[in-house]
């Protein structure tokens, strides 16, 4: 005899993400990487390891610079606010340009990117992975950047053609780069990126729960969404229903 489901409620599963939880952690990490490059702090760390009292020479300032941010969502907006706070002019690059995201001075479409790269003093990416972004930072991308410009990637490793980045650094076609993400991860010990000049690498630690506030925000989002479900209200950050 089959089971009788009369009178039972049908359950609906709602899948939501934690958008809004990682902005502070990832944006602060990305800004720290950019400042590390501008102030040549990585060179002084290397000199410290060698017990060498060496002057690395002239440095740059974020004040008055033009920063191009690829990806103008929650993390990109958080970074834009920090960058503007230290005097940078920040342009966001995103698919939908109808609305100026919080923190940005201007917004542009992805199709505008080739014309924007030669104007930027720094290019910082928070773009997600996928067919539309994989390999975007290729040889042509770095060729359009200024020799004095910096590149920071805190989005996904697949964005970067790592051979093209290595060539740009070795040939001095950009001033420096910082990667929190690579492809693959972990980056193999034999990768030439480890020995590339003017490159800072961190092992995908910008996000996660390294910053305690991130976990607290994730929990707050979960609690708020659970309350919405109980009250029959709309859930935030919905990815899918089942």
For residues 69 and 93, the answer to whether their CB atoms sit within 8 Å is yes
Question: 85 lies in a domain?
Answer: yes
Identify the pLDDT of residue 3. Answer: 46
Question: Same domain, yes or no, for 78 and 188?
Answer: yes
The enclosing domain of 134 has a CATH number of 3.40.50.720
Taking only the tens place, the pLDDT of each residue in 82-116 is: 999 999 999 999 999 999 999 999 999 999 999 99
Question: Same domain, yes or no, for 30 and 100?
Answer: yes
Identify the pLDDT of residue 56. Answer: 98
| Tokens found for residue 157 | 């490793």
Whole-number average pLDDT of the chain = 94
Task: Tell me the mean pLDDT in the region 222-231.
Answer: 91
Confidence at 5, pLDDT banded by 50, 70, 90: very low
Tell me the residue range of the domain where 119 lies: 23-44+59-201
Question: Same domain, yes or no, for 189 and 160?
Answer: yes
Question: Same domain, yes or no, for 138 and 31?
Answer: yes
Identify the pLDDT of residue 7. Answer: 47
Question: Same domain, yes or no, for 218 and 151?
Answer: no
pTM: predicted TM-score of the whole model, two decimal places? 0.93
Question: Same domain, yes or no, for 215 and 135?
Answer: no
Question: Same domain, yes or no, for 102 and 155?
Answer: yes
Question: Same domain, yes or no, for 129 and 160?
Answer: yes
Question: Same domain, yes or no, for 195 and 218?
Answer: no
- Write the burial class of residue 145 (CB in 10 Å: 0-12 exposed, 13-18 middle, 19+ buried): buried
Question: 14 lies in a domain?
Answer: no
Confidence at 11, pLDDT banded by 50, 70, 90: low
Active-site hit among 185, 210, 216, 233 = 185
Taking only the tens place, the pLDDT of each residue in 114-162 is: 999 999 999 999 999 999 999 999 999 999 999 999 999 999 999 999 9
Question: 108 lies in a domain?
Answer: yes
d(CA 153, CA 177) in angstroms, rounded, equals: 8
DSSP string, the chain: -----TTPPPP--EEE--TTSSHHHHHHHHHHHHHHHHTTHHHHHHHHHTT----------STT-EEEEE--SHHHHHHHHHHHHTT-EEEEEES--SS--TT-SEEEEGGGHHHHGGG-SEEEE-PPPSTTTTT-B-HHHHHHS-TT-EEEE-S-GGGB-HHHHHHHHHTTSSSEEEES--SSSSPPTT-GGGG-TTEEE--S-SSTTSSHHHHHHHHHHHHHHHHHHHHTPPPTTEEEE-
210 is a catalytic site residue: no
Confidence at 183, pLDDT banded by 50, 70, 90: very high
Question: 10 lies in a domain?
Answer: no
Identify the pLDDT of residue 12. Answer: 63
| Tokens found for residue 180 | 């929190």
Task: Tell me the mean pLDDT in the region 61-66.
Answer: 98
185 is a catalytic site residue: yes
Question: 17 lies in a domain?
Answer: no
Question: Same domain, yes or no, for 197 and 215?
Answer: no
217 is a catalytic site residue: no
Question: 8 lies in a domain?
Answer: no
């Amino acid at each position: 005899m089959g089971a009788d489901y009369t009178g039972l409620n049908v359950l609906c599963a709602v899948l939501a993400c934690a958008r809004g939880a990682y902005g502070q952690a990832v944006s602060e990490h990305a800004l720290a990487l950019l400042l590390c490059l501008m102030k040549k702090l990585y060179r002084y760390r290397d000199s410290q390891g060698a017990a060498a009292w060496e002057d690395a020479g002239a440095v740059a300032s974020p004040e008055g610079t033009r920063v191009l941010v690829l990806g103008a969502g929650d993390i990109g907006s958080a970074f834009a606010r920090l960058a503007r706070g230290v005097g940078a002019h920040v342009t966001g690059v995103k698919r939908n340009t109808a609305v100026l995201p919080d923190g940005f001075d201007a917004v542009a479409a992805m199709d505008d990117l080739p014309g924007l790269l030669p104007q930027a003093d720094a290019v910082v990416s928070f773009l997600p992975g996928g067919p539309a972004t994989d390999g975007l930072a290729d040889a042509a991308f770095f060729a359009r950047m200024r020799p004095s410009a910096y590149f920071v990637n805190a989005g996904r490793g697949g964005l970067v053609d790592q051979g093209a980045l290595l060539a740009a650094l070795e040939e001095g076609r950009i001033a420096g780069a910082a990667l929190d993400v690579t492809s693959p991860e972990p980056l193999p010990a034999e990768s030439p990126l480890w020995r590339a000049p003017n490159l800072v690498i961190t092992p995908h630690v910008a996000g996660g729960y390294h910053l305690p506030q991130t976990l607290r925000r994730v929990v707050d989002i979960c609690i708020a969404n659970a309350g919405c479900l109980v009250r029959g209200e709309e859930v935030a950050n919905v990815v899918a229903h089942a």
